[in-house]
Structure formats: C-alpha cells, structure tokens
C-alpha cells in the first residue's frame, strides 16, 4: 500500500451557502465549484480551493451539508453546531489493495468502497483506529 497525497479536507457545515461566503470573502478562495447532491451518501457537497501562490493550485476543501433524514453528518453537527473539520482524504493508486492493507493492520474500514464525490471509489476508516481522525481513502482521480 502506497499512500498518495492529501486530496482534500472535509468540513461539515450547517449551510454550504454561508460557508461559501466565508471561504470567498474572508479566506480569498477564487476557485469555487457548484454545490451538488450525493443522495446515496446523504450529503450536499461543494468543493472550494484555497488560493495557491502565484496561480499555483491550492488545496481542496470539501464542504458537506446534511441532506435528508439520517444524514451521516447530522450527528456531527449536533455535537458541533457551527460545523468543523470532519475528515482528511488521502489518495491511493488501488482502492482494493488499500482496503486489504488497512484491514490487515486491524483498522475498521466502514463499509465497502463506494463512489465518492470525485467519481472514484472511496472508503472511510474509523477515527478510533486512526488517531482520532476520520480518514477517507480514495482512488486517485484522473489527471493527478
Ligand atoms: Co471527502
């Protein structure tokens, strides 16, 4: 298993609209995606990119707003009403090999690999096995 780059930081928010104002007006983000629903995951998602220096690519922030009843981030927002850092996502070349690796290390993989917001397969690893950090492992998207 070869861990790749940090792809994005997931941030839960009660309102993507309000979060976008913050990232644009206060943090200076200029690359802002269109929000979209991932109904199967129970979240509305929007990517913003932190401004890089001199036009270089920054780092992606994945804004997550609960969608529908029983959204997996509803409980998180109950504990953190303002929202907050939710997960870190790392790229790997082979999602199935990565799952075997983490399970072999005794880490609790939450479910089977499923389609993520970048159109590649992802899975999550339980924060209690990862130093308190909910960790998303995603197959590297094309163009990286
Ligand atoms: Co993510």
Predicted structure pTM score: 0.92
> Residue 142: what pLDDT?
82
* 114 CA distance to ligand 1 middle (Å): 12
Break the chain into its structural domains and give their ranges.
6-139
Q: What tokens appear for 97 in the block?
A: 């090999």
> Residue 55: what pLDDT?
63
pLDDT value at 56 more than 80: no
CATH code for the part of the protein at 6-139? 3.10.180.10
> Residue 40: what pLDDT?
86
The stretch 123-128 carries a mean pLDDT of 97
**Chain segment 70-110, per-residue pLDDT in tens:** 898 999 999 999 999 999 999 999 999 999 999 999 999 99
- 3-class secondary structure, 85: strand
What phi and psi values does residue 128 have, to the nearest 5 degrees? -65, -20
The terminus-to-terminus CA distance of the chain in angstroms comes to 18
* 8 CA distance to ligand 1 middle (Å): 7
Query: Tokens 């990862």 appear where?
Result: 130
- Residue numbers annotated as active site: 136
pLDDT value at 144 more than 60: no
Nearest by Cα to 98 from 129, 132, 126, 137: 137
pLDDT value at 30 more than 60: yes
**Average pLDDT, whole number, for the chain?**
93
* 64 CA distance to ligand 1 middle (Å): 8
């Amino acid at each position: 298993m070869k861990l790749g780059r940090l792809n994005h930081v997931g941030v839960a928010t009660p309102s993507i609209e309000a979060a976008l104002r913050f990232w644009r007006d206060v943090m200076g983000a200029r690359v802002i995606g269109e929000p979209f629903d991932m109904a199967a995951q129970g979240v509305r998602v929007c990517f913003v990119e932190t401004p890089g220096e001199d036009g270089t690519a920054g780092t992606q922030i994945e804004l997550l707003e609960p969608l529908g009843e029983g959204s997996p981030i509803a409980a998180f927002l109950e504990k953190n009403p303002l929202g907050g850092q939710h997960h870190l996502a790392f790229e790997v070349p082979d999602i199935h090999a990565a799952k075997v690796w983490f399970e072999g290390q005794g880490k609790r993989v939450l479910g089977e690999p499923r389609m993520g917001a970048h159109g590649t397969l992802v899975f999550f690893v339980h924060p209690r096995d990862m130093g308190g950090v909910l960790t998303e492992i995603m197959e590297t998207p094309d163009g990286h």
